[in-house]
Amino acid sequence: MRTIRYHSYGNPDVLTVEEVPVPSPGPGQVLIRSEAIGVNFVETQRRRGTGPFPPPLPATPNGDVVGIVEEVGAGVTTVAVGDRVAAPVMGGAYADLVLADATFLAPLPDGIDAAQASILASPAQTALCVLKTARIQPGDTVLVHAAAGAIGHLMTQLVRHYGAGRVIGTVGSPAKADFAREHGTDVVVDYSTDGWTDEVLKATDGEGVDVILDSVGGDILLAGLDVLKPFGRLVFYGASGGTLPQVPAMRLIPMKHVVGCGLDQWWQHRPDDIRSGLQELIGHVTEGRLKVHVHAELPLAEAADAHRIIEDRAQLGRILLRP
């Protein structure tokens, strides 16, 4: 079978196609034949070795795999050979066949397409955990950073369902503004320009926002504190800007709450919430409240191009690889 591997950190060219033996599932694992693989931004940081968790080498990127179970390991009772599933796959997702932990498999409703199924593996779950962490109150004004991104465009669709009144979305270039509006953003602000926080204040009659959902970090997070109302909540869940923010504690005295959110922690400590959240998400998908926009579908062997698109900050929504 084919897998995509890199033996050194670097630019997308380090991703190469290799032939490897089909792996066997260990206890608690399943072997899945991939139908589609969702490509996540954080893998570009890991590939460069610059992210918070650079992988040991050689490495195959993680990703959101949709496919059919071909084999189950010892002790797996929740799925059977032939079932169609979506799975967050760690250490080996860009491949024809992948191993996944059976605990994390998302059940799939009949007829769901591969793109919609792929968001159930991790991006929609991340969005939901972030929204629940934010404890949005009815009518809150919510600022969603990177609103045209894979998770961002899911977040802007879901946020009103979880209480938001007004949704302000940031994007890194004017070309993304219409897309963000089409996916639930009321006001779009380009945070690559100086004075983006003034735009947010203008849009809120000088009051600021109740909630910020921040996947960018760095200076964007610090500037966001200027437009967060007293008693407001900022949820930090990613550092796509490349810099981990250092928040001076004094900036929090005006009753500003900053809280982190990691999907893995929800899985570890709140698995029941995750399972019920998955049912909520399946409802949103099947009833048409949550749609995924696929920016590009590329053959598995063109994984490097998928990473290039993401590093050029060109993607609207999500990118899929097709084995």
Ligand X SMILES: NC(=O)c1ccc[n+]([C@@H]2O[C@H](COP(=O)([O-])OP(=O)(O)OC[C@H]3O[C@@H](n4cnc5c(N)ncnc54)[C@H](OP(=O)(O)O)[C@@H]3O)[C@@H](O)[C@H]2O)c1
Residue holding tokens 């997702």?
A: 93
Region of 111 on the Ramachandran plot (φ > 0 left; ψ -120 to 50 alpha; else beta): left
**Of 135-143, 233-241, 244-252, 285-293, which part binds ligand X (CB under 6 A)?**
233-241
Using rule CB under 6 A, residue 167 touches ligand X: no
Using rule CB under 6 A, residue 172 touches ligand X: yes
Distance CA 20, CA 274 (A): 34
Using rule CB under 6 A, residue 212 touches ligand X: no
Burial class (CB in 10 A: 0-12, 13-18, 19+), 20: middle
Q: How far is CA 270 from the centre of its chain?
A: 19
Using rule CB under 6 A, residue 156 touches ligand X: no
**Of 13-21, 62-70, 240-248, 299-307, which part binds ligand X (CB under 6 A)?**
240-248
Q: Binding marks (x or -) toward ligand X, 78..117, rule CB under 6 A?
A: ----------------------------------------
Using rule CB under 6 A, residue 149 touches ligand X: yes
Using rule CB under 6 A, residue 237 touches ligand X: yes
Using rule CB under 6 A, residue 29 touches ligand X: no
Give residues 52-71 in contact with ligand X (rule: CB under 6 A).
none
* Residue choice 159, 261, 296, 303 for contact with ligand X (CB under 6 A): 261
Contacts of 31 (CB under 8 A, 6+ apart): 22, 23, 24, 25, 69, 70, 71, 72, 73, 97, 98, 99
The pair of three-digit structure tokens given for residue 73, joined into one six-digit string: 């390991």
Using rule CB under 6 A, residue 216 touches ligand X: yes
